[in-house]
Amino acid sequence: MAEKKYTQRDFLTDVINGVFNDTVTGYAQERLNKLDEKNEKRKAEASANQLKNAKLLDDFVAFIAEQEEPQTTTEIARHFGLSTQKVAPIMANGVKTERATETTKTIDKKKYKAYTV
């Protein structure tokens, strides 16, 4: 007869019952290793949203480069038909990755965050 496979249900039952032997610790270590592998793989791959935002950043940088003066988040959002809530974190990432530079722009005596390349 084939040896019974140690399942997650068996593992949890043993934990509840206070059974801590080599089988339990071995299974726990095996599961932790699988979780670590899965997390490393996920970190290595860019999500669809990250790829989309990278493309948008390319478009924003190209637009800013064409302009003679710094562009605010609102101006960028208006040009692309997006919300400022969408543009702001993408541009913050652009500053972080040194694709854009953050500066200020005064409009009607108020200072706003603006971007140049």
On whether the CB atoms of residues 116 and 70 are closer than 8 A, the answer is yes
**Is residue 104 helix, strand or coil?**
strand
Distances (CA, A) of 89 to 3, 23, 62: 54, 47, 17
Going from N- to C-terminal start, the domains of the chain cover 8-44, 48-116
**Average pLDDT, whole number, for the chain?**
90
- Residue range 25-66, pLDDT digits in tens: 999 999 999 999 999 888 877 778 888 999 999 999 999 999
Rounded to whole angstroms, how far apart are CA atoms 32 and 15? 16
DSSP state at residue 45: S
At the topology level, CATH places domain 48-116 in Arc Repressor Mutant, subunit A (1.10.10)
Say what the pLDDT of residue 87 is.
Answer: 94
87-117 per-position pLDDT tens digit: 999 999 999 999 998 998 888 899 999 999 8
Say what the pLDDT of residue 106 is.
87
C-alpha torsion sign, points 65, 69, 70, 75: negative
